[in-house]
Structure 1
Amino acid sequence: MPINNVIREKRKELGLTQEQLADYLGVSAPAVNKWEKGGTYPDISLLPALARLLKVDMNTLMGFHEGLTKQEISSISKNVVDEIKANGYSAGFKMLMEKIQEYPNCYELIHTAAMLLDGSLLYYGAGISDREYYENQITTLYERAAKGDDEQIREKACFMLVSNYIKHSEYDKAQEMLDLLPDKSALDKRNFQAQILINQNKLTEAAILLERKLIMEVNDLHMTLVSLMDISIKENNIQNAAYQVEVYRQSAKIFDLWDYNSYIAPLELALNLKNIPDSVSNLKAMLDAIFQPWDMKSSPLYSHIGISYPQENTGRLMLSPLLSELETNPRYDFLRTNEEFTKLLKQYRAKYPE
């Protein structure tokens, strides 16, 4: 709770008027009024006397140990997303940073803010000119969360930092952060937890636990296959790379993933080989797949956690940053003279204008 709210609420709890509080502290009533409205703050020399008068300790007065519930953090996140949609990314960023200034030691809020801003930058940040500034600020938030006192949040933040550092080729930092993480246990306790729940006939809880575990492990498998493909390409072993891509593609279908996922690795291989026909073909398939529904709930693998995505809205959110990437990233320069590639971009820009 901000200091102005503490002063106002504690004063009222004690049945004091602003005039009485001012008299006790030797200041004017308008000064107290400004404190409570947040326009100004008490002089530092007055803080001990003010805390004693309001019958609170200094930490409570200054809000040092103040935290937020998960529900409050969820509500803040929703408000920020609404602000981004209404007034743009920078407005939502400003709102969230102000909230973090209010709760500087709430590491769950800091970590949630980093993830929200990270995701929103992908969806809504296509036209932002100072994108690098925001990326650096997001990294700073993850670094703050990684120094917090909550072990789970620290680990999540460290994983995100490793990913970000690798993305920016900061491999020494990535290794340093990775070394801070505990080695994964050879025994996954989620399997034991599921068996306990099954034996207790808590079948829905067990299914939710295992389905979430499955989707996470499939995603991990795909990251591994893409990395193996990258190694094979660097070793100039295209046959191995093609095989790894095919395993990726088939597993996406076997595990009932969104059709969009099936084209990620094939596109990566085509781009690395600068294969124009395959690159264009996979890009077209990906762009088409963005607007195809993914009904997780209809899959026997995810029937307890699955939801039906409103794909038209999701597709529109993903399309703009994806098209901007295709239009500006030097990685796609070898495609720019290809008539089918330029026609594809124009077609989707015209079909779904920003």
Structure 2
Amino acid sequence: MELKIGENISRYRRERHMTQEQLARSVGVSPPAVSKWETGSSYPDVTLLSPIARALGITVDILLSFQEELTEEEVDSLYRELQGLFGRRGFSAGQQRCEELLREYPNSAGLKLTVGGLYQTMLGTLPSEELTEERVQEILRLAAQLYSQVRASGDPRYFAAATVGLAAFRLSENRLEETEALLDSLPKVEIDPNELYPSLYLAQGKSEQAEKLLEAHLFQLLRSVSLALHSLASLSQERDGTDRALF
């Protein structure tokens, strides 16, 4: 990962209307040392990171450009980027970019859930020579590991989706008791507030937010219908034959 300490020192020093000399005095170094930091000629000693951050009114994480979590908007943006990459350049390129992002944001539950979902849904972008049972299972195991990490994070925003994804994988392994336990751990919600939020947003004049939520809700419903039809077709194939399954 590229260090941007110098850029951050310069940026936050200027925002506080502080000269290089003033910052140098605050942390006990010479003004030329600060100048070298800001131009990238050298890095400050690790023992100076906390004093520099305090002088600039920021945290050490910000100074080091470390971002523990991504916003939901940032995760959505990365999802679109990754989806396009998988589609244009294939699974290997998409997986490589996913791994880079996971290293950069190791604590982002939203990113882990997104990558897990892409690993499952983008299997079709594997070249034919790689589309083996062993390779598919390897990818699905990676997705399951990510879902497990999301569940362990305790983030309530992503817990249910990660649980469903992990349950689907356990079901494919025929680990039925684990599948049932995972499904039983899901909160039982009888009323979906998303059905009311669009009306609230429209009344508040927030048409873009209402539209975004309605599209997401519609996609979720379509996915549920698709899964239900697939299951019904499979049952019909076994019980009634091909004609009923096709219907």
SS at match of 2:149: helix
TM-score by length of 1: 0.49
Q: Is 1:218 aligned to residue 218 of structure 2?
A: no
In structure 2, the residue matched to 1:346 is none
Deviation at 1:155, TM superposition (A): 0.5
The worse-fitting range, judged by mean Cα deviation, of 7-16 and 113-122 is 7-16
Offset, 1:156? 0.8
What is the identity, as a one-letter code, of the residue corresponding to 1:179? Answer: D
1:7 and 1:54 in contact (8 A); partners too: no
Residues 159, 178 of structure 1: 8 Å contact kept:
yes
Equivalent runs, 1:73-112 vs 2, <5 Å? 73-85=75-87, 87-112=89-114
Q: Equivalences for 1:290-329 in 2 at 5 Å?
A: none
Q: Which residue of 1 aligns with 2:159?
A: 154
Which amino acid counterpart does residue 140 of structure 2 have in structure 1?
E
1:51 corresponds, among 34, 50, 53, to 53
Contact persistence 2:8–2:63 (CA under 8 A): no
Matches for 1:189-268 after TM superposition, within 5 Å: 193=196, 215-225=222-232, 228=235, 241-242=239-240, 246=244, 249-250=246-247
1:105-144 Cα shifts (integer Å, max 9, x gaps): 3222221122123222233354337724433222222222
Q: Structure 1, residues 179-233: CA drift from partner, whole Å, max 9, x if none?
A: 2212352x5666x749968xx8x9x979979865763553353255357559xx6
Q: What's 2:7 paired with?
A: 8
* Matches of 1:109 and 1:167, distance apart in 2: 24
Is contact 1:100-1:109 (8 Å) kept?
A: yes
Checking the alignment, whether the CA contact within 8 Å between 1:111 and 1:145 is kept in structure 2 is yes
TM-score (norm 2): 0.66
Paired residue type of 1:8: E
Match of 2:185 in 1: 180
Matched residue, 2:168: 163
1:85 and 1:219 map into 2 onto residues whose CA distance is 21
Task: Tell me how many residue pairs correspond in the alignment.
Answer: 228
Amino acid at match of 1:167: S
Partner letter of residue 71 of structure 2? L
Q: 1:242 to 1:77 in 2, by over 3 A?
A: same
Equivalent-residue separation in structure 1 for 2:88 and 2:128 (angstroms): 16
Q: Deviations over 1:124-169 (max 9, x none)?
A: 3543377244332222222222234542421111111111111123
One-letter amino acid matched to 1:101: R
Equivalents in 2 of 1:117, 1:8: separation in Å? 35
CA contact (8 A) 1:22 1:32 kept: no
Name the structure 2 match of 1:68. 71
Structure number with the bigger relative contact order (C-alpha 8 A, sep ≥ 6) is 2
Give 1:120's aligned residue. 122
Distance 2:99 2:26 in 1: 36
> Per the alignment, do residues 6 and 218 of structure 1 end up closer, same or farther by CA in structure 2, a change over 3 Å counting?
same
Q: Following the alignment from structure 1 to structure 2, what is the Cα–Cα distance between the partners of residues 65 and 209?
A: 26
Aligned partners of 2:167 and 2:183 also within 8 Å: yes
1:173 to 1:60, Cα distance in 2 relative to 1, 3 A: farther
Q: 1:41 Cα deviation (Å)?
A: 7.5
CA distance 1:152–1:53, change in 2 (3 Å)? closer
Aligned 8 A contact 1:139 1:161 in 2? yes
RMSD: 4.6
Q: For residue 146 of structure 1, what is the amino acid of its counterpart?
A: R
Within the candidate set 115, 138, 143, 2:148 is matched to: 143
CA distance in structure 1 between the aligned counterparts of 2:43 and 2:183, rounded to whole angstroms: 43
Larger radius of gyration: 1
* Change in CA separation of 1:208 and 1:54 when aligned onto 2, cut-off 3 Å: closer
Structure 2 unaligned runs (5+)?
Answer: none
- Percent of aligned pairs with the same residue? 19
Unaligned runs of 5+ in 1: 234-240, 251-354
